[in-house]
Structure formats: structure tokens, C-alpha cells
Structure 1
Amino acid sequence: MNGMNAMNQGNKPMIPNSILKHIPEPLQGLFENPFFSAGFGLIGVGSILAIGRKGFQQSLIQARRYFFVSVEVPSKDKSYLWLMEWLSTKKSTSTRHVSVETTYSQHESGEIHTKVNFIPSVGTHYVYYRGRVIKVERSREKNIVDMSSGNLWESITLTTLGTSRQIFQKLIEEAKVMALDKEEGRTLIYSSMGTEWRRFGHPRKRRPIGTVVLDRGLSDLICQDVKKFLGNSQWYTERGIPYRRGYLLYGPPGTGKSSFITALAGELQLSICILNLAGKNISDNTLNQLLSSAPQRSIILLEDIDSAIQTGNGGGGGPTSPGSSDRSISNVMQYQGYSGTGLQNSGNSGQLTFSGLLNALDGVAASEGRILFMTTNHLEKLDKVLIRPGRVDLQVPIGLSTNYQMENIFLKFYPKQETLAKNFVERLPEHQISPAQLQAYFMQYSDDPHKAVNNSQELIH
């Protein structure tokens, strides 16, 4: 009797009654089996559950593949900034984890105002757009740096139910329009950073081209030439002519060369890309990449090209011809000797060379659809090979003020004072005063045109 009780005790199920009562009756006998309870059955059930879980996960992956659509926007892409700005306007008031983004705007008076936006921080968020719920995943790689900006690499992944990407196209287009609306009527300035163009400062209010007074006819000459170029791409293609145009504005300091280019960009709704040949990371390769990747409808500006290309005497380690000279770009590139047969260069492949500059301007790999402006205070310092047709198609002298300029600049400051303007011009000689000097002088007497006339001799003493 005691043995039977012991056997019954030995056959007591290993599963507690509190759990066993939740198991269906047909399976309770299985769990009461001593061998099953000893562990073999549990191992089997665990395996079945593991296989079921893996199958469920695979089903989710397949469901996401066939029933969901996603798009990833990396921080390197220009649409990333559009999307971030768009998200700042679509954030839910229940979003508790946000990042701060400060933006700047310029009022008509020129005063700079700042605005603090809250955008979704790194993590997962949800937004509602065109009747669809969109999952927004913002991620940041801690160990990967975007070399073009120096910031940690980021990306945004958008996911929604469906099979068409059209909703993302509409979303990004809406974000683009919203961003561009804020830039309407303003000129964008870019500067080079490595092989990338980065926005420089805030968008500037467009300067009316009439506020920069050049000598009679010069403004119209340049403006009409650029307009003709922009509207004649097919003409260039049909004749096998490279579709690019180069301009050189030369003259003394303070004559309005850079100011006119800024006003021209505003007039034609173009951006300005300032290319600094003295940059420490500039090389033949990076120059080619920058020229080929400039934003559409932009002016590439090389200011004070005579300072970038410095000329010395004779010398130094390479073949030379009579009258030849050593040249360098920002003391980095060494150009030794020029003869009718070619250029000889002592720079290495990691530097910007004179031949590399020439090839970037009009070589085999030179970019198409490009508008390039150079400025210089010393035309005589520039080698003719740099400014020959094909590299520079139109050279325009921007000199010291003529009578025409002095009169019109006077009228800009003192409208409807034609008689005083003529009196002012009669007191001063031509080609001796820069427009910058005139502007500073008129600002001194901004409220009294009579004093501006009577004290005009201050400008030549």
C-alpha cells in the first residue's frame, strides 16, 4: 500500500495545478505523463514555440515588404533640410521628445531675426498626412561623420501602409515648395566646403540692378548677354559649342564689380557660388567636382583672381623660356615657365595646379551650363592664356566714375534734384573718384543735398 502511494507520488505531475488548470483537458493527460513532465515534452513545446515565433517574425517581414512602402532620406541630400523644416510644422502637440533648430530671417530693413523651431528628435514619431499615418524614424550614426558638413551622419526613414511611393513624392515636393517660398525674392549664397557646396549665411534680399550704377550701357550689355546665354542652350548644342559662358570684370577697387554681380544674380533669379581658390583643401579634382556640381541656375564667382594667381620672377627647377615667370595659386601650386608649347607644373596631384585650373575651365571634363564670373583689380597681372576666349568670353572694364555715373548716383540719394546733380558733376573731374567713395560721401550728407554740392571738393583732396 505504501509502495503504491510512493508510485502515485512519483507519478505526480511536475506542472503546478495553477498552470495545469489553464491547459485544455485533452492535453492535461500529456502534461501528467512523467516522461513529458521530466522535460522532454517541454523541450519539444519550446522548440515549437520558437519555430512559431520565428515564422511570425518572417511573416511580419514579408508583410512589411509587400504591404508597406518606405523611403530613406540621408542628411547629405538637400531634401533632408526641406523635410526637417516640414516636420517642424507637422509635429504633434503630444510629441514630447523634440530637438531645437534655430533659423534666421532678414527683414526689409536688413535686421536679422531668429526663430526657434522644435523638430522631432532622434527616435520614432508619427505624423498624419493626406489621410495616411506615416511613421517617421530619425536615426543618427554616432561613429560616422558626414565629411561635407562635419556633422554626425543622420537619416530619416518614412514608412506607411501601401505599395505606391507617390505619397512620398508629394510630401517631399510639398516640403520643397514650402522651403523655396521662404527664399522667394532672395539671393542664395553658397561657398565651397571640400567637394560640396554649402549655404553661406542667410538668403539675402535681392538688390535691384538699378542701384548699381555702371557707366552708360555696361549694365545692359552684361545683363542682356547673360539672358541670351540662358535662353539659347539649343543653339549651342546644334553648333557643337560647349554650353558655358565666362565673364571678366576688371578695374580699380570700389568700382562696383562684386556689387553688380550680386545685383545681376537678383535680377535674373540666380544663386551665387563663391569659389575660393585659396582654400586649403582645393585641388585639381575638387575644383572639377565643384564646377560640375554647382547648384542649377547659379553664378560661379572667382573674386580677385589676380590675388589667387601670384606672379614672381624667373627661377627654379623647371624648364623656362625667355621672359617666363613662376606662378602659384595661393602659394600652393607652383607653375614654372610658359612657352608656346604648353605649361610645365611642379605641383603634385593633391594640389591645385595652373594647368588644372585651365582644364577645369574649358577642358574635356569641364562642366556644361555654367556661368563663370571673374573679377580683378589688375588686369595686367593675368596671363592671356587664362582669359582667352572660351575661358573668358566677355571682358568688361569697370572704371572710376564718369560724369554719367556721378550724376546718376547723386540722383539715387537725392531724387528729383536734377539741377543740383548737374552742378555737382561740373565741380568734379571724371575718372578720379570711385563709386564707393561717392556713396560714403553722400551718406555723410544724406539729409542735405546742398551741402553735398557745396563741399564736393572734399572728394578730391
Structure 2
Amino acid sequence: MEYSQPNLLGFMLANTMSGPSMDATANATSSHNATSTPPSSSGSIYSLLFSPALLKYAKWVLMGTLIPYLQQICTWLYGNALSSMFVSASFTEYDDAYEWMMTWLAKHPKWRQARQVEVTTRHGCNHSARLILGDETDPTARNFSYIPALTSTQWMFYRGRWMTVCRTKDTTGWYGKADETLHVRLLSWDQRVLTALLRDARDLYEADKHSTIQIYTSDGDNEWRCIGKRPKRPLRSIVLEPGVKEDLLADAREFLDSKEWYNDRGIPFRRGYLLYGAPGTGKTSLIQSLAGELGLNVYIVTLSRSGMDDSALCQLVADLPEECVAIMEDIDAAFLQGINRDSLPPTGSAPPPPPPQQQQQQTQGGSKVTLSGLLNAIDGVGAQEGRILFATTNKYHSLDPALCRPGRMDKHIEFRFASRYQARELFLAFYEPPRKRERVGKGQRLDELAEQFAAAMPERECSMATLQGYLMQYKTSPRDAALNAAAWVEEQREEQKRREAGA
């Protein structure tokens, strides 16, 4: 005996034909058998297509297909409705506007009551911890600040309007680098509200710059990154020969005020200064002080950085802001072969290759900057205008004349070892005004001690850094510093003789 498996079609036909119509169907079948006529399939197909089970199945299929599209339509309508009601803006962490907003948010009272915040004591420019006051009653307490927590959306008010803030990090950049973005939305129909917010944030940020300058350096991706803030150093704390620092400051200010004059005459709006002399004579200190006086941030161009080449250097200099102080320190030591074309052999042929060890160091990520690449970065077609460039060197006469010519290095300032005049002025700047705990000495004025100190110092034998290091031993006792100066000088001379004998 054989059994046939029931199928879906038979089951649906059975359901369709069940009920009151069964008798009619049976009669029709009996009549069909009696007359032996061929069966008609049109009625069965019609019944199958319009059966309740098939209609219910089609309804669920249709709903499953349409629901995702309806969700997309609703999302689109919701997004457009929000876009029409909110003004949105995004700020990336490498842009100045990002620092404006982070400063403004860190000082906003909202973060004192917020439940989802990021607490930081870092002093880097990527965070605003340095801007919030800590415990003023404890001078040793570290400052801290609250900033928006990552991925959490914070609600606040700005000028009576709702405002949302959200910080995110995207790790899809090169080498998985996490790029931080700040998203801001304002409930307003007018973009002028966003403009007002940016203006307030910028003004608050600029107010903080009155006492500090920002220091930038390049990261591994050849992008400028702020590494911190430094207090402005008073120009009076820099002790040079009379008129040197004043003339340099006046020249820099005149340059910054002469943009229209440069443009009218077709002269590139750039200024370069070459500071040369022995180490420790105050070159870098003067640059930092001048940047503070001019209100400009400092950008350090490290020519000897691993991976630096001509292309990276040109791109880095081209990305400088229009008004800034750029520093290239120890420019004479930035190249494996030196930067003087006069060092070539008389035949004009290429210099001999460096030792294998140096070649290996250079190929393993060392600097590959050439003289032509440096010259092109300083005043090439893509060089940034409006910047002030300071270059320092300890070997002035080894520099190529092409690097030192006007247009690249417009003014050359020599820094020599300290004179007696500088020793006296350094003593006065170090101890003036006298504090109550300083033992100046009965019947002795500070200027008399300064004269005594200067008389004990040899002319042009010690650097300013060396003299300052000596005075640091007597921070609160100028009298002892003056009395022991002569003995200290003799000790330094003996030490120098021992070093020379050992060499």
C-alpha cells in the first residue's frame, strides 16, 4: 500500500472548500463523474489566489517590506524637522575654534551641577583644565576642570535658548589615530546665535592669552599640535647689551603693522631673524619674551625630527598661521652633511658618503632635510606670509650665504658671553624688588651689592645661564651671592682647566 504526503496546496484547497459549500462541491463532483467531462482548473486557481490564508501571508510580507522604508521616511522627516529648528556646528580638536569652545565650556557654570562630565588636571592645550580655578586657599593644590564627557549629550542654555553639546572620538584616521570632535546645536532659526556664541568663546579665550602664550610642535602626522601654555616672560628679565632687545621688539612691531605696505610693493610679507652665539647666552629666552610682548603663539620647527624631509618641512611651514613666531633652533646641526655649500671639495664633486653607522641612522627615520628644501620652505611659493621666523645657531660662520641673505634672515643678532654690565643688570633683576626675607645687609643697598658682584665677574668668560645658575644658589641672600662671587669664579676657571687637560 502506498501513501501520498499531504501538501500545502491540498491543505489550502481543503480549507477553501470546507463549510457549506462542501455539499455543492460533492454534487458537482458526482455530476462530473457521471458525465465523465474534463475538470476545469479556473475555479481552483481563483479560490487559491483569494484564499484567506494566502491573503494573510501577503499582508505580512507587504508589512515587513514597507516598515523599513517607513522608518527611513520618519527618520528623514524627524531629521529635517530638527535641522530646521536647530543650528548645528562641529569643531575638530586641531582647529583654534575648538579651543575657544572648550575654554568657554570649561568656565560655564553648567558643569558644576552636571552628572556626566570629564574631570581633568592636564595642562595641555587639548583640554581646558588650566582655565578653571582650584582651591585658592591652598597654593599647592592642583587646578582641575570639568569638560563634557565623551559620547554623552549635555543640555544647557545659551542666551535663553536650548543648546546641546556632545564630544566624540573617531578612530578611523591614519594609524587608528583618535580625532576628537565637539558637536554643538542651538535651538534657533537664525545663525546669528551661533556667531554670537563663537564671538563670546573667542573673547573669553583671548582674555586668557594676556598672561600666557601657546607652544606648538609637530606630531607624527606632520600636523601642528599644542603642547602647553607658558607664562609670558617679562622683557625686563632678559639682560642684553643696551638697546638690543628694544630694537628687535620695535622692528618686529613695525613689521606686523606694515602688511599693507608690503602688499602694495609686491614684497612677501615675511620677516626673519638669525640669533647666533654660544650656548646659554639667552637666544631662546629672548624669543619667548618677544612672543609674549607681541601676543603671538610660538611654533617650534624641529628640523632634526625623525622622518622630516623636504616635503614634510614645506607642508609644515605652509600650515603656519598668518601671525605667529616660528622657531628653528640649532639650524647648523639639523643636517647630516651640514648646510654650507662651501664645504664641497674644490673639484665641485659631491662630498664623500657618511660612515655606514650614520647612513643606517639616517635611513631608519632620521631627518632628510636638504639645504634647498629648507630655503624653499622659508621663502618658496608655498611659504606662509605674516609669520616671524627666528633661527638660532652656535656656528654662524658655517651657514651658507644663501640662507643668511636678506629676505630669509633680515637681521642678524650676536649673543656673546656676559659682560660686567650684564652681570650687574642680572643681579638687580634677580633680587629686585627685595623681599622681607631677603638679607640685603645692614647699611648696604642692592645696587652696591650688584656693583660688587659685577666687579668679581670676568669680562666675556661666563654665559648668562651660568651666572643665573650661580645666583640660584642664593635665591634669598644677595649679600652672600656678592661676597662669594670671586671665589666661585676661581672655581670655574680651575674646572675649565681640568676639562681642557682631560680633553
TM class by shorter chain equals 0.7 to 0.9
**Equivalent position to 1:196, from 223, 238, 241:** 223
Shift of 1:292: 1.9
Match of 1:267 in 2: 293
Higher helix share: 2
Code of the aligned partner of 2:377: A
CA contact (8 A) 1:245 1:392 kept: yes
Match runs of 1:138-217 below 5 Å: 138-142=167-171, 144-145=172-173, 151-193=177-219, 194-201=221-228, 203-217=229-243
Q: How is 1:41-60 mapped onto 2 (pairs within 5 angstroms)?
A: 43-44=58-59, 47=62, 50=67, 56-60=74-78
CA distance in 2, matches of 1:80, 1:43: 54
2:95 pairs, out of 77, 84, 106, with: 77
**Does structure 1 retain, via aligned residues, the 8 Å contact 2:210–2:295?**
no
Q: Which residue of 1 aligns with 2:264?
A: 238
Q: Is the 8 A contact 2:112 2:146 kept in 1?
A: no
Q: What is residue 37 of structure 2 aligned with on the other side? A: none
> What is aligned with 1:410?
427
Residues 9/297 of structure 1: CA separation in 2 closer, same or farther (3 Å cut): farther
2:429 counterpart of 1:433: no
Q: How does 1:245-264 map to 2 (within 5 A)?
A: 245-264=271-290
Alignment of 1:25-424 (within 5 A): 38=53, 40=55, 43-44=58-59, 47=62, 50=67, 56-88=74-106, 89=108, 91=110, 96-104=115-123, 105=130, 113-142=142-171, 144-145=172-173, 151-193=177-219, 194-201=221-228, 203-311=229-337, 321=347, 351-415=368-432, 417-424=446-453
Change beyond 3 A, Cα 1:372–1:167 = same
Structure 2 gap ranges (5+): 1-17, 23-48, 124-129, 433-444, 494-503
Separation in 2 of the partners of 1:439 and 1:181? 32
**Displaced runs of 4+ in structure 1, greater than 6 A?**
106-112, 312-315, 331-334
Kept in 1, the 8 Å contact 2:340–2:399? The answer is no
Partner deviation per Cα, 1:290-320 (whole Å, 9 max, x = no partner): 21222343211111112213557999xx997
CA drift of 1:131 comes to 2.2
- Kindly, what percent of the aligned residue pairs are identical? 34
State the shift of 1:372 in Å. Answer: 0.6
Of 234-243 and 155-164, deviating more is 155-164
Moved more, 212-221 or 115-124: 115-124
What do you get for the CA RMSD once the two structures are aligned? 4.0
3-state SS in 2 of match to 1:198: strand
Write the letter of the residue equivalent to 1:444. Q
> How many aligned residue pairs are there?
412
Q: Which moved more, 1:46-55 or 1:368-377?
A: 46-55
Deviation for aligned residue 1:424: 3.3
Q: With structure 2 as the length reference, what TM-score do the two structures score? A: 0.70
What is the deviation of 1:42?
7.7
Q: Deviations over 1:315-347 (max 9, x none)?
A: 9xx99745985799xx7899xxxxxxxxxxx9x
Residues 190 and 199 in structure 1, CA contact (< 8 A), matched pair in contact too: yes
TM-score norm. by structure 1 comes to 0.76
Using the TM superposition, give the Cα deviation of residue 438 of structure 1 relative to its aligned residue in structure 2, in angstroms. Answer: 1.7
| Aligned equivalents of 1:414, 1:387: Cα separation in 2 | 39
Please tell me whether the aligned partners of residues 332 and 352 of structure 1 are also in contact (alpha carbons under 8 angstroms). no
Q: Distance in 2 between matches of 1:410 and 1:435?
A: 11
Structure 1 gaps of 5+ residues are 1-5, 11-33, 335-345
